[in-house]
Amino acid sequence: MKIAIAGGTGYVGKHLTKRLAERGDMIYILTRNPAKYKNTDQVSYVGWLTDGSDPAKELPEIDAIVNLAGDSLFGYWTKTKKDRIYQSRINTTYEIYEIIKQLDLKPEVLINASAVGYFGTSKSETFTEEACEPGNDFLSEVTEAWEQTAQQVKAEGVRTVLARFGVILGREGALSLMALPFKLYVGGRIGDGDQWISWVHIDDVVGMIVFAIDNKYVEGPFHVTSPQPVTNQEMTGRLAKILDRPNWLPVPTILLKIILGEMSMLVVKGQKVLPEKALILNYQFKYPTVNSALKEIFK
């Protein structure tokens, strides 16, 4: 297959590119700086979002497009930062739509990144793809607008998948920040520890994206999460045990709100999200439990 990836030089993009190349696909990575990278037999870099770039003319006949582009959520959420988070997702997704409109032969599928933050936060509710009501906080507003922009592609006859990512566990990203206090012997739960973490191992993130590319029955919201979400208390307990460190120093919620500001919602709140579509369609999770995921990461 010939697959274009926006955001292909990021954490998920690198892992996805590696997996697709291993199975023999041709990958076209959309980037603002194509000259920064060296093309290989299977991976080519195509300029976009800059003056003079015209990816619709440079791309060959594409079978699928994966959009992973967007500014990192990490960082103090000033108004400027929040604008970057919002605009980077909406603008890049709209650009993907414009590219698809210009292509004479449309791709079969668009896999557009989204997030479980669509639902807002809750300690009591369980969300599957059947749940339609978005939340009312900043992340849910961003995610709702992000998905609405991607949905425009359906008018071009392209199967559109809204891949709602949970907290991605791997050797980079959120887990390294979560593990640091334990490595320093000052780890513990956050607040009361009852907030849900809908997590997923990076290998299953890639596996589920590939599954969605290949499976014509995957369409619309698609939860990229483990079938076994855990509470913060369960996660920190498992982390402490695997790292052989104490789990004795709870972090007060108020302290994180002071230090991190509004971004603290990423760790002090959560939602319980289940990957119902993946289970119905018989996707085989490589790491269905947090214990198996953490053991692999810290082996």
Output DSSP code: residue 192: T
Average pLDDT, the chain: 96
Interval 232-279: pLDDT, tens: 999 999 999 999 999 999 999 998 898 889 999 998 999 999 999 999
Determine the Cα–Cα distance for residues 156 and 62; give it in Å rounded to an integer: 14
If one counts every other C-beta atom within 10 angstroms of the C-beta of residue 192, the result is 13
Count of the separate structural domains present in the chain: 1
| Domain of residue 27, CATH code | 3.40.50.720
Mean pLDDT score, 45-63: 95
Domain extent at residue 201 = 2-297
pTM score: 0.96
Express each pLDDT in 11-20 by its tens digit. Answer: 999 999 999 9
The pLDDT tens digits for 152-194 are 999 999 999 999 999 999 998 889 888 989 999 989 999 999 9
Give the Cα separation of 22 and 9 in Å (integer): 17
